[in-house]
Every structure is written in C-alpha cells, then in structure tokens.
Amino acid sequence: MARASKPHRDPVTLRSERHLDFFNFMFTRFTRTHMRAVRIAKWGLPAVPRGAPAVIFANHPSWWDGVAFMLLYRRLLKDRPLFTPMAEWALDKYAFMRRLGVFGIETGSSRGTVAFLRTAEHVLKDPSHILWMNAPGRFCDPRERPIPIAPGMTRLPEMAPGAHFVPLAFDYPFWSERKAEMLVAFGEPIPAATLLDLERDARTAHLSAALGAVCDRLTEDAISRDPARFETLVQGKEGMGGVYQLWRRLRATMRGERFDPRHDHQTGDAR
C-alpha cells in the first residue's frame, strides 16, 4: 500500500496552522522577490459553495503552481483548510510540506491512483475541506489543448459525490518588466452530481473543456497587458535593479522628479 495511506501520514492530523503561518510569510517574501505581481482576474474571483467539500483543479504550466496554491488559499479561502497531493519522491525532498496539508502519492501506477483516491476521499469527508490539485498530473504548456486530465481526477467525483469542482487557470507571462506576472482566475463550480451523470470519457472531456475555457479567457486578459483587468494580491519589486536602476534614481533626484522604477510607466500599478 502507498505510504500516503498510512495512519502516521494522515494529512488531516499532520497539518499545522503554525507551519502554515510561517510558510505563507516565506512564500510571500519569495514571490515578491522573484515575481512582479500576483494578479487575479476580476471576473475570476472564487465562488466556492459553502457546506460541501470542494476540489479546485488547475492546469499545470509551472513549478510556481504549488506556491500559487498557498498564496491564493491564504488570501481568498483561508477558512477552508487546504490539502494537495504531490509526488512522493518530490515530497520526500520537502518533508516540511506535510505540515502544510500536502500528501504524497505514488505516480505512474494504478496502485498510486488507488492510494490517492483513498486519501482524497478521507480528506473530502469534511465539508470545510478543499483539495487543490493540478488536473493534468504533469507539467504542460498553458496553451495545450485539450488540457490533459489525469485518471485519478476523472474518478474523484465517485469518491466525493457531494463535492463541487472548481476550475483554476494559471499563466505566467512577461509584460514590460524583467519579472513575470502570476495571473490566475477561477471558473464556475461544477457539482459532482453533474459529472457523475457522465461516462468517464465524457467526464474527462467535460473537466478539460471547463478548465480550458477559463484558461482561454485568462489568456485574453494576459494578452491585453492591462493590470486594470485584475486585482493585485501580492505586489513584487519592479524595475531593473542594480547599477542601472541606481543611476536612474539619482538622475530623478537631481532633477527633482518622482522616481518610478518601472520600465513602462504606462502599465502596472501606480505604487
């Protein structure tokens, strides 16, 4: 049996609010250093129904997705405990993440899929819990269509028939600054009952299409390069940095001008 299902690896009992507070601080600091901003589309704020568990299923374009889960959870859904799967071999390298609601799964095997479903069923018995996961089960470009859906994701409604499934889109474009933007958007919840009315192949197609529609709409906003279409959740440092930025600051000071570190003054938040 996969290690994720052993009692001492129970993600519900291992989860620690103290650890979550600390790593939210660390992840936020790290993001401010390495990203220009975390922005959520104004049309894409989460509408997760109360009184029932939820599964937030996202595309998987980047290593940053796991950090994004933490940032979004703490800012938008903090009262709904987060749980998320990770490949067991990767989690062994970051064991502290077990205290954040992360549980290990054996990838690439039917045994691993069964163990994941058992753990997910256990987590989703509590109506306040939310399972956050990358639906493809592998990294894939945000433009890939149809978006792949892992077999365990397709079977998940059978383990949590009272849950709601909420699509979540990620994109990480570069706009006018040297750091990328983290852009996100949630879609409309899908009741598990709606998915259970479908055969598994049709269910997979339905989940893929729902997630793809949210990704496509987010892509339109990303192409616009217009921060006014978004709410900023985390603001990072802007500008080139280094000697060049120091020179620009000194020049503005000598001219009696307000220094703006941004490369393009026509875009971005006025901060």
- Give the SS3 label for residue 57: strand
Question: Which of 24-28, 60-64, 176-180 shows the lowest mean pLDDT across its residues?
Answer: 176-180
Q: Are strands 82-87 and 130-134 parallel, antiparallel or unpaired?
A: parallel
269 pLDDT band, cuts 50/70/90, is low
Give yes or no for a contact between 140 and 175, defined as CB atoms under 8 angstroms apart.
Answer: no
Measured distance CA(226)–CA(155) in Å, rounded = 38
Q: Compute how many other C-beta atoms are within 10 angstroms of the C-beta atom of residue 6.
A: 11
Q: What is the mean pLDDT of the chain?
A: 89
Identity of residue 241: G
Bridge partner residues of 164 (DSSP): 54, 191
Specify the pTM. 0.85
Helical H runs in 1-109? 11-14, 17-34, 65-76, 88-91
CA Rg value for the chain? 20
Question: Which of 36-45, 55-64, 107-116, 144-153 shows the lowest mean pLDDT across its residues?
Answer: 107-116
Query: What is residue 25's predicted lDDT score, i.e. its pLDDT?
Result: 96
Please give the span between the terminal C-alpha atoms of the chain, in angstroms, as a whole number: 53
pLDDT of 237 above 80: yes
Measured distance CA(217)–CA(229) in Å, rounded = 12
Output the furthest CA–CA distance in the chain (Å, rounded): 70
Question: Which of 82-96, 175-189, 198-212, 247-261 shows the lowest mean pLDDT across its residues?
Answer: 247-261
Query: What is residue 252's predicted lDDT score, i.e. its pLDDT?
Result: 58
Tokens, residue 227? 């921060």
Q: Compute how many other C-beta atoms are within 10 angstroms of the C-beta atom of residue 111.
A: 11
Closest to 135 measured CA to CA, from 120, 124, 122: 120
pLDDT of 200 above 90: yes
Helix (H) or strand (E) holding 208: helix 200-224
152 pLDDT band, cuts 50/70/90, is very high
Query: What is residue 108's predicted lDDT score, i.e. its pLDDT?
Result: 77
User: Please, which residues have CB within 8 angstroms of residue 49's CB and are 6 or more apart in sequence?
Assistant: 164, 189
Measured distance CA(34)–CA(38) in Å, rounded = 11
110 pLDDT band, cuts 50/70/90, is confident
**In the block, residue with structure tokens 């890939």:** 144
Give yes or no for a contact between 146 and 237, defined as CB atoms under 8 angstroms apart.
Answer: no
Helix (H) or strand (E) holding 245: helix 242-255
